Amino acid sequence: MTALNEPLHLRNGAPLKNRIAKAAMEELLATTGQLPGDELVTLYRRLAAGGAGLLISGHVMIDRRAVAHPGDVVLEQDTPLEPFRRWAAAGQSAGGQIWMQINHPGRVIPKDLADITWAPSAVPIDLGGFSGMYPTPRPMTALEIDETVARFAVTARLAQRSGFDGVEIHAAHGYLLSQFLSPLVNRRADSWGGSLPNRARMLLDVVGAVRRRVGTGFAVAVKLNSADFQRGGFDTDDARDVIKMLADAGADLVELSGGSIESLVTAGFPADGRTLAREAYFLELAERLVASSPLPLLLTGGIRRRAVAQQVIDSGVAVAGMATALAVAPDLPARWLAGTDAQAHPPRTRIRHKAFAAAAVQAATSRRLARLGAGKPARTPYPPSIALLLDRLIRARRRRGYLKWRTTG
């Protein structure tokens, strides 16, 4: 049996000191110029002290014209690197690794932030009565696809220059690379659409371009849906085949998650009607992938007890990823590694509307992260419903700053 404190040696040669990772969360703490500031530095120093062997940052956007939220960090060719060096050093301050998650949202850009909104095909986001919040995207041209692949590679190289130990390419949760993988969103008739190898082409090009820019001693991971949880969408059989392709393309590890903005699986609301367990949401699907995977797998989704984390490792998954639990109790990994059975209780709400409930819980989590970044206890003095109202006010202020920066830039 593999213990949680056992190191993991990836094929790029960089060992993780234990089998617990902090997975990406929407920290939404970018400062002026969409840069990491003091709050992110303080937050990651506290998370590093919490004992996880690996910290994966919230998504960093590769293109200033395309952000999912005005609090997103952006890293491009001419971005000053000193703030990123401080962020990386904070994440490594307790001897663990920090990887930067890099992303392009594709069609997941709200109308009030949209400059360019593109996707594989002109398929709008279906959120029922809230669909109008997002513009209908236009299909990407071959030139735009190539440019975006190059941007991923540039951002990865800049992360390396800033001192990060690796990058995680975001190809899950309905963002751009996940959109290309999805037969529901990707309706192209060219070499980027149709068959699974064609739909995976952009992701594989990104992994290959990143690997060429960063060399072999830098970790390159991919976040991939184990399933989209939408009828007719990307499924577990697709994930199995894509993982094999990623191994050939030069990836070191695959993180398994699931769902998208149209299927709020991590909030417990899969669009295809399946019921999820309260913890380790995707473990059943991951167990179907472990035996055939040529790469180590990291599983994220609802883990908040030591016994569940150990169950994940016992299933053959290499690393147990935690997210919301660390916003509640950032020292949970250290306590688990010391042998205690401490657990975290995530924010809950009585809001009945699924979309509002998910947004409220996410807002409460973001407020906890902001408090940690301010050097305060994680616990918030108000319920998720109030956190959601505060989140809208903070977003409005950040939106003004982002639009001014994007325009002047």
pLDDT score for 296: 96
CB atoms within 10 A of CB 231: 11
Q: What integer pLDDT is reported at residue 59 of this predicted model?
A: 98
CATH dotted code for 8-347: 3.20.20.70
In whole angstroms, give the CA distance from residue 264 to residue 229: 9
Share of the chain above pLDDT 70, in %: 94
What is the rounded distance in angstroms from the CA atom of residue 163 to the CA atom of residue 232? 41
Report which DSSP code applies to 14: -
The angle subtended at Cα 396 by Cα 69 and Cα 403, nearest 5°, is 65
pLDDT value, residue 274: 43
Assess contact for 177 and 202: CB atoms under 8 A. yes
pTM: 0.94
**What pLDDT is stored for residue 94 in this prediction?**
97
Cβ pair 192, 120 in contact under 8 A: yes
Phi and psi (nearest 5°) for 337?
A: -65, -25
Contacts of 231 (CB under 8 A, 6+ apart): 271, 272
> Domain spans of the chain?
8-347
One digit per residue, the tens of pLDDT, for the chain of length 409 reads: 899 999 999 988 778 999 999 999 999 999 999 999 999 999 999 999 999 999 999 999 999 999 999 999 999 999 999 999 999 999 999 999 999 999 999 999 999 999 889 999 999 998 888 888 999 999 999 999 999 999 999 999 999 999 999 999 999 999 999 999 999 999 999 999 999 999 999 999 999 999 999 999 999 999 998 876 777 788 889 999 999 999 999 999 999 987 777 665 444 444 434 433 455 557 777 788 999 999 999 998 889 999 999 999 999 999 999 999 999 999 999 999 999 998 888 888 888 877 788 888 889 999 999 999 999 998 887 899 999 999 999 999 999 999 999 998 6
Tokens of 169: 């390419």
User: What's the pLDDT at 263?
Assistant: 64
Whole-number pLDDT of residue 273 = 41
Q: What is the pLDDT, as a whole number, of residue 280?
A: 58
